[in-house]
């Protein structure tokens, strides 16, 4: 095989000659190529953060989760958020109250004698009494906040107000600003506040439109509470996390960890809340201490319910 002085075979030399002829016949092409090598400054140093570098799995997941909600996800947000229904917060507070009363029930003195003096909580009758005690604690707290509904009976059925949207209204797509119900308005205002409201649903001009359904004092108070704002962020974060595929924790638990750290970084978190927020922000006066399980002051209907608890079924 023929070799040139530069060690290239004849085929390679023919290719080089062809390119040289093109440059000879096309002065503009020659100038463009020359300009590529006319810079005095050296090229920028290599950076691992360059946009040309492939994203890591963590970066891809972060970008995926940070995108605003799309139309389908906003639909899920709207219909999946049950926070304004009383049953939602009642169930959250019930769990915390049960833990508090259970801890008192099991407390012992230095000689390992039980110190609990409240209603007997053993067995099936004890579970029913515990339900009444939990209701008592939440009732008094909510009465103090002005949000208790006297129609809720025993066992508790937290229906009606706060508020519930008729299905025909829910199914009609996102309503005009002046026809939003309380949950819808809270979702929109949250997404507007975080610059995530889709323009397809209209501009962020809620301040210029008179609402058809006026917020009363209690409704305005409820949607501003830490537990309600927590529910908004939790639902949104859980929806976004679903984009990233399976996680080590369930979506809501993983979202709760993320939001808890976010609130701590902003200085909004109170350690006294436990695993989820309560009714008062850090800058507000603290909530009253819950009633001692040993000295609960029951209402007449709660006393009747306690007295009507059937005794344990005798063993055969």
The 10 Å CB-count burial string (b at 16+, else e) for 31-41 is eeeeeeeeeee
What is the SS3 assignment for 231? Answer: helix
Threshold 0.85, pTM exceeds: no
How does pLDDT run along the chain (316 residues), one tens digit per residue? 454 444 545 554 555 565 666 656 666 656 655 554 454 444 444 444 445 556 565 666 677 778 888 888 887 887 777 666 788 888 889 999 999 999 999 999 888 998 999 999 999 999 999 999 999 999 898 888 777 877 777 766 655 545 444 445 444 456 777 767 677 788 888 888 888 777 666 655 544 444 433 444 556 778 888 998 998 899 888 888 888 765 544 567 888 999 999 999 999 999 989 889 998 888 888 777 888 999 999 999 999 999 999 887 777 6
What is the SS3 assignment for 91? Answer: helix
How far is Cα 226 from Cα 281, in angstroms, rounded to an integer? Answer: 6
How far is Cα 73 from Cα 64, in angstroms, rounded to an integer? Answer: 13
How far is Cα 288 from Cα 232, in angstroms, rounded to an integer? Answer: 25
What is the SS3 assignment for 64? Answer: helix
How far is Cα 151 from Cα 177, in angstroms, rounded to an integer? Answer: 31
How far is Cα 288 from Cα 278, in angstroms, rounded to an integer? Answer: 12
C-alpha triplet 234, 185, 266: angle, nearest 5°: 40
How far is Cα 222 from Cα 215, in angstroms, rounded to an integer? Answer: 10
């Amino acid at each position: 095989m023929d070799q040139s002085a530069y060690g290239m075979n004849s085929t390679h030399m023919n290719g080089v000659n062809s390119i040289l002829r093109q440059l000879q016949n096309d002065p503009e092409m020659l100038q463009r190529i020359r300009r590529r090598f006319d810079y005095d400054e050296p090229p920028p140093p290599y950076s691992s953060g360059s946009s040309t570098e492939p994203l890591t799995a963590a970066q891809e997941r972060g970008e995926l989760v940070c995108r605003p909600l799309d139309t389908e996800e906003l639909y899920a947000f709207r219909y999946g958020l049950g926070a304004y229904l009383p049953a939602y917060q009642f169930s959250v507070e019930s769990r915390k109250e049960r833990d508090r009363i259970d801890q008192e029930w099991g407390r012992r003195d230095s000689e390992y004698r039980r110190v609990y003096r409240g209603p007997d909580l053993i067995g099936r009758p004890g579970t029913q009494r515990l339900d009444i005690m939990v209701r008592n604690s939440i009732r008094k707290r909510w009465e103090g906040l002005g949000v208790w509904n006297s129609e809720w009976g025993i066992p508790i059925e937290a229906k009606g107000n706060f508020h519930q949207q008729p299905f025909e209204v829910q199914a009609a797509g996102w309503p005009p600003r002046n026809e939003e119900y309380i949950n819808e308005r809270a979702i929109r205002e949250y997404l507007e506040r975080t610059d995530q409201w889709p323009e397809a649903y209209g501009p962020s001009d809620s301040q210029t439109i008179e609402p058809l359904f006026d917020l009363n004092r209690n409704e305005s108070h409820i949607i501003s509470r830490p537990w309600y704002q927590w529910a908004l962020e939790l639902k949104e974060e859980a929806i976004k996390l679903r984009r990233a595929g399976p996680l080590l924790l369930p979506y809501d638990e993983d979202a709760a960890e993320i939001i808890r750290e976010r609130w701590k970084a902003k200085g909004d978190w109170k350690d006294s809340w436990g695993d989820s927020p309560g009714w008062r922000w850090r800058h507000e006066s603290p909530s009253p201490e819950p009633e001692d399980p040993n000295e609960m002051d029951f209402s007449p209907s709660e006393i009747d319910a306690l007295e009507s608890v059937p005794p344990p079924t005798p063993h055969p």
